Amino acid sequence: MNDLTLVIPAKNEKESLPEVLEELKKYPYDINVVLEENDKETINSIKNYNCRIIYQNGKGFGDALIQGINETQTKFFCIFNADGSFNPIELEAMLKKVEEDSYDFVFASRYEKDCGSDDDTVVTLVGNYIFTLIGKIFFKLKISDILYTFVLGRTENAKQLNLKYKDFSFCVELPVAAKRKGYKITTSKSYERSRIAGKKKVNAIRDGMLILASMVKLFFKSN
């Protein structure tokens, strides 16, 4: 019996998503693809694949993930990119940490020994370092790659977090909320691949400012 569902936000990923689903055929995991109902090209591109399509009620990256997790029925969930940058071979090690080592959430990291990225830029590297440092100093987080959304965890625990952030600030709200709830958190080694096609949805400056503002709000929310 499969206990893991991959939650894939896939807005405008018609070029890369079919290849991702093709690669995932060899793995026994359930798949929830979250799409806007008017994204007909992406919907049509995966009509021959065995996955569940969830039509997003709201807007935004975080909104898609919150809905996808809330509609997951398996014991565990994992946020998985639609662009081919995440390697599914790494899922086994992440899953082992929740199944056998009793962790609640596992945050993959590109910045540990023998890890790396084919998709990082100087701007994203520096930005991630700064936000990760803020996470360590102000929220006591023991993770090394706070903006990397390759995250596996216990579904019911994630639902209990009552996450609110609808944009890319979701990536910092999740670990902060899990830490405050007292859940066990760890990291897992990852190597980020280049995206298959298309462009990043993240705007480094705009979304960086949104994330910074969200971290400030999260800090004062606890004090």
Any idea what the CATH number is for the domain that residue 166 is in? 3.90.550.10
The pLDDT, as a whole number, for residue 214 is 94
Identify the three-state secondary structure at position 204.
helix
Query: Is residue 98's pLDDT more than 60?
Result: yes
Mean pLDDT of 130-147: 96
Backbone φ, ψ for residue 133 (5° rounding): -65, -40
Q: By the 8 A CB rule, do 21 and 51 touch?
A: yes
Q: What is the pLDDT of residues 60-78, one digit of tens each?
A: 999 999 999 999 999 999 9
Mean pLDDT of 77-89: 97
Q: Tell whether pTM > 0.75.
A: yes
The pLDDT, as a whole number, for residue 181 is 96
Q: Point out which residues pair with 43 in neighbouring strands.
A: none
Average pLDDT over all residues of the chain: 94
The pLDDT, as a whole number, for residue 157 is 98
Identify the band that residue 223 occupies on the pLDDT scale cut at 50, 70 and 90: low
The pLDDT, as a whole number, for residue 1 is 58
Q: Point out which residues pair with 124 in neighbouring strands.
A: none
Mean pLDDT of 25-53: 96
Burial class (CB in 10 A: 0-12, 13-18, 19+), 112: middle
Q: How many domains does the chain fold into?
A: 1
The pLDDT, as a whole number, for residue 130 is 94
The pLDDT, as a whole number, for residue 205 is 80
The beta strands (E) that lie in 93-216 are given as: 105-109, 116-117, 151-154, 185-189, 191-192
Identify the band that residue 222 occupies on the pLDDT scale cut at 50, 70 and 90: low
Residue 181 CA: distances (Å) to CA of 103, 144, 175 = 13, 20, 10
Identify the band that residue 108 occupies on the pLDDT scale cut at 50, 70 and 90: very high
Mean pLDDT of 21-50: 96
Domain with 28 in it: 4-221
Query: Is residue 195's pLDDT more than 80?
Result: yes
Q: What is the pLDDT of residues 173-192, one digit of tens each?
A: 999 999 999 999 999 999 99
